[in-house]
Each structure stands twice: as C-alpha cells, then as structure tokens.
Chain A
Amino acid sequence: EAGVAQSPRYKIIEKRQSVAFWCNPISGHATLYWYQQILGQGPKLLIQFQNNGVVDDSQLPKDRFSAERLKGVDSTLKIQPAKLEDSAVYLCASSSPGGANVLTFGAGSRLTVL
C-alpha cells in the first residue's frame, strides 16, 4: 500500500512570509494528524481530523496556523505569517479509527524560516 505523501520536502522562507504544506494520507484512513517536530524535540500534535471534521486543534496557534481537509482525504497546513520559531519539520500521519490504532507517518516537510 502507498504510504503517506507529503510535499514539499524542504522549504526555506523569510519571516513574515507564508507557506503551505500538503498531505495525502493512506487510502481509507479516516483520521489525519499534523505534528510539529522542532529540532531536538519529540513531535507535538497540532491538529487532528476525523474525515473532514476537526477533533483536536487545541495546540494549533490559530493566529498564524490554519489547516483544512475539505473532502476528507488530502489536507493542507498553512502558516501565515511565519516566525523564526516555526522552523521545524511538519509531519503528517494517518490512521484507521478505533482501538490502539497505529499512526503511519509521512517523511515530513522541513521548514526553515530566516
């Protein structure tokens, strides 16, 4: 089965610019997650979708971050305007609902804000 696809793999922008990351989950996976992984730290959940509805966005800095999953499949994470502290790897993961579901991660999108 195809894995979780993410693009772009790398992005360098100036502070105050905007950026968008795209994720295509594993086919049939209803749940999609965006994690932020700052260098030297464990991943931190930004937002969780169940189909096209938001389950948890309590850790998403909503003044600058937004995410959508319009048709319950692909998802886009946007940052506008970017700050230096947003430099991180943005990981997308997907899973099937229920039980001890295992998250399958994409390779990540590495953002550098200068």
Chain B
Amino acid sequence: AQSVTQLGSHVSVSEGALVLLRCNYSSSVPPYLFWYVQYPNQGLQLLLKYTSAATLVKGINGFEAEFKKSETSFHLTKPSAHMSDAAEYFCAVSEEAAGNKLTFGGGTRVLVKP
C-alpha cells in the first residue's frame, strides 16, 4: 500500500530564504511522485512530477525536488522564497498497479515573512 508522510504541518520562512519541504513515501513498487500547491479557496495545481527519468525534477515557479530511492524521499526546495509562495503544499504518490490514483500527504502550510 502506498502512503506519504510530510514532516511539519507548518513552515515559516523569510522572503529570500531557502524553502525546504520534506516528503517521505512508502510504496511497494517504483512510484510516481508529485508535488501540488493549493492557494486559498482554490483547487490543487501541479508543481512537478517524478516519473522515473531524471532524479532531480524541476517544476514551475522555481521549485525543484529530488527523488532519493535509498531514503524514500522526495523533498521540495526553492532557493529563494517569494511572498507569492505562501500556500499549502501537498506531496502525493501513485502507482500504476493502484489505478494511478493519488495518495496525498497531510500537507505543509508555508508562511513567508517579509
């Protein structure tokens, strides 16, 4: 069974500082991994996805994530936070054998301080 754990339900960063959001997954087969962002009163928007190609994945808005199989991790980073990055971020895993449905982590809310 697939599952996702996001460490830290809230993260506070200063504008211009590094953003690091942690995600660990559990999957019985090589997974597909995703990061989604959710702004207030909106649906989820895809930031990036890992599909067994390059382990370092670049996404929109300057975000990137690195797949580390040995650590079963897929942490999300951005070198320099912007005020517009304030949102909730969800890590998710899917498996073809499970019908490609997404299983989400609990989410991490990012607050950006000026």
By the criterion CB–CB under 8 Å, are A42 and B101 in contact?
no
Q: How many residues of A contact B (CB 8 A)?
A: 29
Contacts of B6 in A (CB 8 A): 42
Q: Is B44 an interface position by the 8 A CB rule? A: yes
* Pair B99/A43 contact, Cβ less than 8 Å: no
Question: A106 to B96, Cβ gap below 8 A?
Answer: no
Q: Are B99 and A55 in contact (CB under 8 A)?
A: yes
Question: Size of chain B's interface in residues, with CB distance under 8 A?
Answer: 28
Across the interface, do B90 and A43 meet the contact criterion of CB distance under 8 Å? Answer: yes
Chain A residue numbers with a CB within 8 Å of B44 are 43, 91, 93, 103, 105
How many A-B pairs have beta carbons closer than 8 Å: the answer is 66
Within 8 A of B (CB), among A70-114: 91, 93, 95, 97-108, 110
Cβ contact within 8 Å between A33 and B101:
yes
Q: Is the CB of A45 within 8 A of B106?
A: no
B106 and A99 contacting across the interface, CB-CB below 8 Å: no
Cross-chain contact B100 with A45 (CB below 8 angstroms): no
Instruction: Write the residues of chain B forming the contact surface with A, with a CB cutoff of 8 angstroms.
Output: 4, 6, 9, 32, 34, 36, 41-46, 49, 51-52, 90, 92, 94, 96, 99-107
